[in-house]
């Protein structure tokens, strides 16, 4: 059974600390977890993954409320959000750390002065600005983020969007708007949209498109009568009760076989 582990990760080179939670089946698995906080991940990327782990508290998963209470207690005791020795951006509540600059920061702004960073409420923003703080992130943080994205392949690179012509109804509606430029979707009523759909679906080319089978027809011959038929897959099954899958495999069904 898995347990919840509350741990302190300490960087062996810089001494930076990180309070984190991990659900794991074994202690070794929990220790192998490096942490996922945004600032902590940047720190590891810059100085390496040499870290020491101290386990503060362990409990079964069913005791989540107790684990949350202990995690919050240690968060306040260590002052993990405000003390610069800690890389945590928000208090640990047993639900994981902040993995982005906006997670847990709704209604707040990131500010910086020299190498210091913090997130503050919008209503207190002017006070910090008067004291020399600036909104946003330091140049070295923006540079790290930029470098981390270099060399990555965009997930949709080389992929083509599906053509509207693959969707007959969409293509027909597009054709309608080209022919009627004065009509826009912004000022359509329900009755107008209904009329457009009916007009599109009643076009001869659209009706013909819907009648075409989605898969190639199957041609087979009756081994007894030598009769030859070319039908769609559903027609072979519904009309003649022939198993079209057997036909596609080159086998015989109800006396029929592909040629």
Cα separation, 192 vs 185, whole angstroms: 10
What fold, for 3-103?
Answer: GIY-YIG endonuclease (3.40.1440)
Q: How far is CA 214 from CA 166, 223, 232, 234, 240, in A?
A: 12, 28, 9, 11, 20
Q: Where along the chain do its domains lie?
A: 3-103, 107-150, 164-211, 218-258
- 41, 46, 49, 50: CA torsion to nearest 10: -130
pLDDT, residue 205, reads 81
pLDDT of residue 81: 84
Residue 21 phi/psi, 5-degree rounding, is -120, 145
Q: Please give the chain's pLDDT, 259 residues, in tens.
A: 789 999 999 998 888 999 999 999 899 989 999 888 888 888 888 888 889 999 999 999 888 889 988 998 998 899 888 888 888 888 887 765 555 554 455 567 778 887 777 777 777 788 888 888 888 777 777 777 677 667 767 656 666 555 444 444 555 555 555 565 555 554 566 677 777 778 877 888 877 777 776 678 888 988 888 888 888 888 888 888 888 888 888 888 888 888 7
Query: Which pairing describes strands 116-121 and 134-135: parallel, antiparallel, or unpaired?
Result: unpaired
Q: Cβ(113)–Cβ(84) under 8 Å? A: no
């Amino acid at each position: 059974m898995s347990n919840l582990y509350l741990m302190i990760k300490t960087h062996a080179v810089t001494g930076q600390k990180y309070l984190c939670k991990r659900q794991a089946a074994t202690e070794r698995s929990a220790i192998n977890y490096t942490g996922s906080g945004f600032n902590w991940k940047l720190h590891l990327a810059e100085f390496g993954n040499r870290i020491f782990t101290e386990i503060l508290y362990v409990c079964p998963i069913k005791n989540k409320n107790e684990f949350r209470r202990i995690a919050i207690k240690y968060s306040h005791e260590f002052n993990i959000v405000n003390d610069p020795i800690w890389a945590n951006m928000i208090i640990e509540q047993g639900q994981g750390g902040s993995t982005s600059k906006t997670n847990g920061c709704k209604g707040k702004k990131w500010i910086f002065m020299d190498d210091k960073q913090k997130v503050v409420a919008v209503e207190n923003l002017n006070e910090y600005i008067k004291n020399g703080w600036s909104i946003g992130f330091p140049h070295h943080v923006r540079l790290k983020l930029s470098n981390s994205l270099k060399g990555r392949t965009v997930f949709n690179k080389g992929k083509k969007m599906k053509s509207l012509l693959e969707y007959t109804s969409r293509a027909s509606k597009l054709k309608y708007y080209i022919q009627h430029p004065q009509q826009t979707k912004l000022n359509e009523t329900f009755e107008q949209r209904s009329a457009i759909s009916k007009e599109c679906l009643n076009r001869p080319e659209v009706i013909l498109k819907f009648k075409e089978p989605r898969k190639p027809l199957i041609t087979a011959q009756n081994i007894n009568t030598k009769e030859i038929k070319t039908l769609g897959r559903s027609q072979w099954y519904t009309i003649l009760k022939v198993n079209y899958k057997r036909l596609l495999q080159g086998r015989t069904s109800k006396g029929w076989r592909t040629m």
